[in-house]
Structure 1
Amino acid sequence: MKLLFLGDVMGRAGRAAVVERLAGLRADWGLDFVVVNGENASQGAGLTPEHAKVLLQAGADCLTLGDHAFDQKDMLSFIDSEPRIIRPLNFSKVAPGKGAKVFEATQGRRVLVTQALGQVFMKRPFDDPFSALETVLKTHTLGAAVQATIVDIHAEATSEKMAVGHWCDGMASLVVGTHTHVPTGDAMILAKGTAYLTDAGMCGDYDSVIGMEKLEPLRRFITGMAKGRFEPAEGPATLSGVYVETDDRTGRATKVRMIRVGGRLQEALP
């Protein structure tokens, strides 16, 4: 199976890049299933129902969220009516929506998508991501109950993301980090067949400070004082993420590579 995961969509520029490019990538690369992290798609903080529909109509099979899952209050009610949106497993025991779901890909193949939040350096405490993932992954056996499993670990610390990757090795087709908006160069296939990337980066304008217009972040770093709001940068956006090919029989990854298309960080296609 050919899988694509795109990192955090950042504001209008990120949405536009997905709309303009994803359908073409699906056709050109023969993609079977696409996951997009949309948690910063609406003004850089959360996801509105309207923008969720835009990303799904553009070709995403599933949207994951993150620690800003419900910054846009309409998502609290919308997520229960849209099964293609996944919030973090360990966000809150009373949060609406689901943290894991099995989807149907091409040729009737089944893909599990799940997401967990890290605990290290995060602004608020979340439940243990390892135990949250354990229940889901052991219930949906890779290569038996599902033909592929994608784990989005939305976390600040690279060490925590790596630990989750190694812990999930053999139980997932792909473990990919999100949240920091900076793509890492460590795409690999782990010992038991799980593809791994510490951070998928963002789909947004990289002439920025992690997707935000530079002036206000620079002012705060230099002076320690805020003058205005953070605003998403709106220059040419790069689609950043990871491409994976898997063996349908085992669910294990056979190929993995970083993807950067368009904007300022473009590189060769798979």
Structure 2
Amino acid sequence: MRLAFFGDVVGKAGRKALEEHLPYLRRDLSLDFVVVNAENSAGGFGVTETIARDLFDYGADCLTLGNHSWDQRDALTYITREDRLLRPCNYPPSVEAPGKGANLYTLADGRRVAVISVLGRLYMDSLDDPFQAVERELNALPLGMVADAVIVDVHAEATSEKMAMGHFCDGRASLVVGTHTHIPTADAQILPGGTAYQTDAGMCGDYDSVIGMKKDGSVKRFATRLPTERMGPAEGPGTACGVMIETDDKTGLAVRVDPIRVGGRLKEIIPE
């Protein structure tokens, strides 16, 4: 099976990058299933129903969220009606967060892909233990038994926490990939147990920016520590960044992993 994951979509530039590139990437790479992190797609803050539907039209099969899950009010109700939209799985049960943090999707040919979204703890708004939450979901959706492939989106600030999650899931997931920090890392690899891993997929957005936001205001905040106008997404040409894997149909484990970068300012990488 061929699967792809695209990192945080930041504003209109990120949406346009996916609109332009995802349809032909899906065709040319023979992708069976595509996951997109959409949590910055609405002006940099959350996702709306209209934008989610557009991303599905571009070729996404599942959308994941993160610490901006509820920035747009209609996400709270849309997620209860759309099981292809996932929020982090480690909300405390007492919160009764709407929607799901993991789900199983059946392809037209009968193969099944599980997607798990989880929020890290280090330097983030603290939820329940992400490792125990992922353990629970992996036990409910075991690779090679219930699911033919398992993708875990680790939305976290610290690279150490993401790498720890990769090793924690090794041999039990097809792909563990990080989001949130918006910069594509150069460590795409297959871990010893057969799980593909990349610390951060990178964002889909304008890289002439500060992690997708207009650079002038961001630089001023860092340089002066003075308040500035509300930050907004950079609006130049966007790069679509992600990772593609190929799995062994018998085990669901990865046999290949490649980064994807297309459009915009970054050097292009398109798997053959």
Fold-level similarity (TM above 0.5): yes
Cα distance in 2 for residues equivalent to 1:47 and 1:41: 6
Q: What aligned pairs does 1:41-80 form with structure 2 within 5 A after superposition?
A: 41-80=41-80
Offset of residue 227 of structure 1: 2.2
Provide structure 2 residue ranges, at least 5 long, that are not aligned to the other structure.
Answer: none
Partner of 1:108: 110
Deviation at 1:257, TM superposition (A): 1.1
**Residues of 1 paired with 2:91 and 2:218: CA distance?**
27
What's the offset of the Cα at 1:226? 1.3
Q: Note the 1:197-216 alignment, pairs <5 A.
A: 197-216=198-217
CA contact (8 A) 1:32 1:106 kept: no
Cα 1:68–1:91 change in 2 (3 A) is farther
Give the corresponding residue for 1:181.
182
Distance of aligned partners of 1:25 and 1:110 in 2 relative to their CA distance in 1, 3 Å threshold = same
Tell me, in whole angstroms, the C-alpha distance in 2 between the residues paired with 1:92 and 1:134.
15
Q: CA deviation at 1:106?
A: 4.6
Query: Which residue is 2:100 aligned to?
Result: 98
How many matched pairs?
A: 269
Deviations 1:155-183 (A, max 9, x none): 00000000000000011000000000011
3-state SS of paired residue (2:80): coil
Give me the whole-angstrom Cα distance separating, in 1, the residues matched to 2:91 and 2:179. Answer: 15
**RMSD, aligned α-carbons:** 0.9
Query: Which runs of structure 2 are paired with 1:240-255 in the superposition (5 Å)?
Result: 240-255=241-256
How far 1:139 sits from its partner (Å)?
Answer: 1.8
Separation of aligned partners in 2, 1:233 and 1:2: 32
Gaps of 5+ in 1: none
CA distance in 2, matches of 1:78, 1:92: 21
Deviations 1:58-98 (CA, angstroms, capped at 9, x unpaired): 11000000010011011001101111101100134311000
**Contact 2:259/2:269, CA 8 A, preserved across alignment:** no
Give the TM-score normalised by structure 1.
0.98
Q: Distance in 2 between matches of 1:164 and 1:69?
A: 21
Report if the CA contact (8 A) 1:33-1:106 is conserved: no
